[in-house]
Structure 1
Amino acid sequence: MVGDMRLFVGWCGFPWCMFVGSWLFEGLEVVRYVRDATPVVPPEPIVELNNVSGDTLRQLLVRLRQLVSLVTVVAWARRVGLRVFVHASAMPDPVNDFVRAALAGGADGVLVDDFVSISSDLIEVVHVGEKVSDGSVNYVVVGPDVQVQQPVRAYGVILRDVVINKEWLLRIRDKLRLTYGSKEFLAALDNSLLRREIIEELQGVVDGIVVMEIPSVVSLDFDGHKALNVFRCVNCYIDYETEGEMRKCPRCGNRLRPVIRRWDKLTVIEPKVLRLKANDEIKYMRLGAPKVINY
C-alpha cells in the first residue's frame, strides 16, 4: 500500500507526551512534522508523509513508540522536579537513538555498571558501584533490607525493589543517608512503576528516579488524513489546529509556538542541543493537557 499518511498519538498515559525521533523520517517525503523535544497532546499529529508504504509506517510505529515513551517519562519526571537517569541496560540497539530520546526529555545522564556499559560523548555517563577513581561521583545500588558492614561513602544511593508508600520510603531514605552519608536518594523504577501517579507520588520523597526499562506509555496510529498545522499559546494554554498559518493567539494576542507545521526541509536537532530545547519546552508545560481548538 502506498499513499499519503498522517501519524498521530492515539493514547498517552500522561496529559501530554514529548516527541522524539524525527531522524527516522530522513529519506521520506515529509509534509509536516513535529520537531524533537516538543510536547504533543493526543490525538494531535506528529508527522504527515507522502508516498509512503504501509510496511514503512509500521516499522516507524515500532521504533517511535519506544522512543516517545522513554522521552515522555523522562520529561514528566523532570517537569515535577525530579532528577532522571536512564540505566544503560534499558537501552537496546541502536543505543544512540535512546541516548537522543533521553536528552530530548532533559535526562541528567546514563548510569553504567560492571556488567553493562556504553560509551557516549553526547550525555553524561556515570558509573554505579563502589570502585571508582578518586574524585569521581559514585552511586551505589542497594535493596531496602540492606545490612551494611563496612559502608562506603557514596554521593548517591539507588534503591531497588521500591515500595510506593511515602512513609516507608522516607524511613528507608533516612536510614540510607545515615549509613552512606549520601546526598542523593534515587528510586529505580521498572516499566510497571513508570506511571504518572507513581512519579507524582515520589515528589518530595526521592531526589530522582532511574529508568530501568523502556516504558510503554503511548500508542501511535496512522490514517489517510492530512495533518493540520498546530500552534500553541503558552499563556492561554490552548493548541489551535488550522489549515493556515497563525502568528498570534486570537484570545490574548501573544505569539504562538508552532507544534506541527509545514517545513521546507527536515531539520534534525543536534543531539547536544536536544536537552537545552527540552528544558525550554518543559518550563512552559503544565501538569494538565492544553485545550485543543479547531480554528
Structure 2
Amino acid sequence: MRVFIKWCGLPWCMFAGSWLFEGLEVVKYVRDATPVAPPEPIVELGNVSGDVLRQLLSRLRQLISLASAVAWVKRVGLRVFIHGSAMPDPVNDFIKAALAGGADGVLIDDFISINSDLIDVIRVNQKVGDNSVNYIVMNPDNPYQQSVRAYGVIIKDVVIDTDWLLRVRDRLRSIYGSREFLVMLDNSSLRREIIDRLQDVVDGIVITEVPSLVSLDFDDYRAFNVFRCVNCYIDFETEGEMRKCPRCGNRLRPVIKHWDKFMVIEPRVLRLKANDEIRYMRLGTPKVINY
C-alpha cells in the first residue's frame, strides 16, 4: 500500500513523522526533513489495517503541515519559533516535526510548561538581568509598560500591511533597542503569499497554531523510487537505483527509496538536515519524469 501527498498548500512539503512507521511493515519510505512534491509517495507499507492507516494519516497530516510551514518560512530567510500552545500531545512529536522544518525554538509563557533538550525553549517576558529580557510579547496598541531592553519584540494581533508593520517596527525598535522584530501568525495567516510579503519587513514569525497545509491519500500501487537532481530540479521516478542525473550528470538526492534498514533520524540532527535540504529547494515544484 502506497501513501502519498495528495495536496500541499506549497510547491513542496517537508516530510516529518517517520517514527510513526515503527512497528509497521515498511517497504520504502521518505526520511525526515526531506522535501516531497505532490503527488509523490512518502511510504510504502505492507499488511496495514484500515484503522491503523487512518490514525497514521491523521497524525502525519499535522506533523508534515507543521514541518512544511516552518521550512517554507526558513526558505525565504526568516526566523521561526513555535508557541508552546500550538503543540498538542504528544509534544515531542511536534518538536521533532518543527526541527525537521528547521525551527529556531519554542516560546513559552507563564501558562505553558515545556521541558526539552531537543530544541531551544525560551520563556517570553522574563527578565534576564540588568532590566533586559529575551523577547517581549505585546499588542502594538498597548505597549509594554516597564522600561526594559529587549533582544526581540513579538507582535500579536498583527495587521498584514507593509506600511503598518514598518511603522510599528521602527517605533518599537526606537523604544526597546530590539534587534529582532517578530509577528505571531495563526493558521489562517500561514500562507505563501503572506510569508512572501513579510520577508523584507520582519525578522521572523511565531506560529501559534498547527497549520493545515497537507492532505494525504493511499492506494494499492507500489511506490516508485524517486531521485531529485538539484541542478535540473527534476524528480526521476524509477523502479531501480539512480546515482547521477541522466541530463546533467550531477549527483541525485534520494526522495523515496528502499533503505537497507529502517532508521529514524536522531532528533538532534533533524534541524541540520533540514537546513541542508532547504538550501537546494526552489520556489516552484520540481518537474517529475518517469525514467
SS of the residue aligned with 1:215? coil
Shift of 1:149: 4.2
Tell me what 2:54 maps to. Answer: 58
Task: Quote the residue 1:229 is aligned against.
Answer: 225
1:79 equivalent in structure 2: 75
8 Å CA contact 1:130, 1:152 repeated in 2: no
Contact 1:82 1:209 in 2 (8 A): yes
**Deviation (angstroms), 1:150:** 3.5
Q: Distance in 1 between matches of 2:126 and 2:148?
A: 7
The within-5 A match list for 1:105-254 is 105-132=101-128, 138-254=134-250
TM-score norm. by structure 1 comes to 0.96
- Asked whether the equivalents of residues 128 and 138 of structure 1 are also in contact (C-alpha less than 8 Å), the reply is yes
Q: 1:67 to 1:133 in 2, by over 3 A?
A: farther
Compare 118-127 and 176-185 and name the one that shifted more: 176-185
Show the counterpart of 2:19. 23
- Residue 99 of structure 1: which of 92, 95, 98 is its match? 95
Q: What is the distance in 2 between the residues matched to 1:244 and 1:46?
A: 17
Distance 1:218 1:148 in 2: 37
- Name the amino acid aligned to 2:31: R
Task: Give the gaps of 5 or more residues in structure 2.
Answer: none
Contact kept, 8 Å, 2:131 with 2:147, in 1: the verdict is no
Cα distance, 1:64 vs. partner? 0.4
Deviation readout 1:107-137 (Å, 9 max, x if unpaired): 1100011111200000011110143456985
Q: Find the counterpart in structure 2 of residue 11 from structure 1.
A: 7
Q: Give me the whole-angstrom Cα distance separating, in 2, the residues matched to 1:281 and 1:198.
A: 23
Deviation at 1:144, TM superposition (A): 2.1
Residues in 2 aligned to 1:135 and 1:258: alpha-carbon distance in whole angstroms: 50
| Aligned-pair Cα RMSD in Å | 1.3
Output the CA distance in 1 between the equivalents of 2:282 and 2:133. Answer: 33
Please report how far the alpha carbon of residue 167 of structure 1 lies from its aligned counterpart in structure 2 after TM superposition. Answer: 0.6
Q: TM-score, normalised by structure 2?
A: 0.97
Query: Could you tell me which amino acid in structure 2 is paired with residue 126 of structure 1?
Result: I
User: Taking every aligned residue pair, what percent have the same amino acid on both sides?
Assistant: 76
